[in-house]
Chains A and B, each alone.
Chain A
């Protein structure tokens, strides 16, 4: 992606040239991305969710999660005062939904970053170093790939203490193998290009080649993968919270659903308690998926526009 046209270098240092080239490819990327309507919808939805989550301390504040002196009666249906009704403690569900977006998005993003970082590290090193190291690493990757991810994450979350860190760790260390395989394939393709041989001939070591030549070339792929990974991480967070393995002290969308089920919202038919958190989860996950697919098809034109 960094194969820009060499600009006429009149007194510009190599660093400045590199920045110019990066800016140009970013502009080209955006022009290309704009043609994907689904990607734009996803991006707009994400911006909206990010705004809601970031402004939550101003709009609802952390008081909304306090069970003592809640503003309403327990389990009120939606009304003018509480647009989405109240929960079993009489807390405002709309406020909880807004407040919960912070945890769901944070855990989703961090878990995705952790997972993609592990995947990129494994993928780049397995592609760069050949021999037994790569063989062992890829066997481990394949093993993780077929393992039921959720079962492994549940096992981890069960034996560790209940906290957000545990949830992030449990999701991150179980979901990296897809990224590792993709990155390794890309690394192998990059390493067969002549400029890697040139770098080696000029005395570039393993670290230099991996960080300066391979990594920038696999970075676009890693970004696309990270975007897609966020949506599955958010779903995984909701699942763990629903199973009672999340941090019980914070409000998250999955946690709201678990509370709704425990409060008997299902058997009493209180659909307004259950519907909003689920829609929020699905909307964020879908938005990240749409963005990820758009980024993927921009970066990999072989996939075609209508994939």
Chain B
């Protein structure tokens, strides 16, 4: 029964009692739902903070030895390093120091770049957002579009081809696809000339509109790589969500009303199938982060993923740790935002 119907029934049963309006009721329900989600997210973020600390302090044995990377260092130097990174303090004090610093936005100093980790992240973030944002919009749209087509005509040739291609691309390592695209379209193979730059984000020396075009030119191959490895998942999720709706009575009703097949799909079936899809699109953001790390590495894109790879190869522990915290926090926050948006998409959630 719909909420409005329920309230109407209550109003009939107890006409003397003044019922709250439906809007006020859904608002309180929404606030309670939202508070629960935000609370959960805060707990998750704290858990990330704790994991970040213990993962990078306890497991490496002696972090100072790891930092020096096996170079011969005198005992005095080791002691100096310990003091500098606060490793001579008792563990609980290290932990509180670390939490306090991390919460005020101080993630330590990268000893590869001799710059604060936060600054390095701040520099690289816009580039990653440009790449990821473009790819995210494209692969979600493509996945939902092809997924609904495949489900609507399931079992036919088009469905088989679409699903098969999606499964194949889903099994392809993103970095390998990127390398192949570089060989074919940047270096050039046989009759195909090198059409695109092999890496980086800009050729330099361009301004204004020419600069925008230049960046877009550099953006094409990385985005194509990301979209091809990620759209398969969205396609499969959309397809099975829509297949769940296919036999529903309300679709028969809509057809009985004489609606065109197209309208039944767009106005009736797809909106109902969209919620599980959107949920999974956001849960799978973690996978996208993995894709971004690899694609940025392969294409030398000056973003967070490329930075992560540079930090790994040293290994530059403060930078790895900072990026670990950042990636985890970003995915958790995005998921929470999606959770908060669901009740607006689908009134059944959060009641």
Contacts and interface: CB of A to CB of B under 8 A. Distances in A.
Co-assembled chains A and B = yes
A286 B168 contact: yes
Most buried by A among B240, B313, B317, B328: B328
B56 A307 contact: no
Binding site secondary structure of chain A: helix
Interface string A91-117: 000000000000000000000000000
Contact of A289 (B56, B170, B189, B297): B170
Nearest to B293: A150
B340 interface: no
B281 interface: no
A123 B59 CA distance: 27
B44 A269 contact: no
Interface stretch (B85-93, B254-262, B282-290): B282-290
Given A239-B294, A278-B172, A266 B179 contact: yes
Given A149-B287, A151-B290, A159-B60, A274 B179 contact: yes
B312 A154 contact: yes
Contacts of B324: 151-152, 155
A143 B44 contact: yes
Contacts of B331: 146-148
A285 B297 CA distance: 22
Given A148-B289, A235-B173, A274-B180, A269 B327 contact: no
A271 interface: yes
B55 interface: yes
A271 B48 CA distance: 41
Range class of the A interface residue count:
35 or more
Nearest to B182: A266
A130 interface: no
Interface string B290-323: 1001100110000000001100110101001101
B198 interface: yes
Given A148-B328, A158-B312, A282-B173, A257 B179 contact: yes
Interface size class of B (residues with CB under 8 A): 35 or more
B335 A146 contact: yes
Nearest to A158: B315
Given A257-B179, A269-B183, A145 B290 contact: no
A104 B308 CA distance: 24
Contacts of B167: 286, 289-290
12 contacts: A146-B286, A147-B48, A147-B331, A148-B287, A150-B293, A155-B55, A261-B179, A266-B187, A278-B172, A278-B180, A282-B176, A290-B167
Interface of B: 40, 43-44, 47-48, 55-56, 59-60, 66, 154-155, 159, 167-168, 170-173, 175-177, 179-180, 182-184, 187-189, 198, 240, 243, 283, 285-287, 289-290, 293-294, 297-298, 308-309, 312-313, 315, 317, 320-321, 323-324, 327-328, 331-332, 335
Interface of A: 139, 142-143, 145-152, 154-156, 158-160, 231, 235, 238-239, 242-245, 254, 257, 260-261, 266-269, 271, 274-275, 277-278, 281-283, 285-286, 289-290, 303-304, 306-307
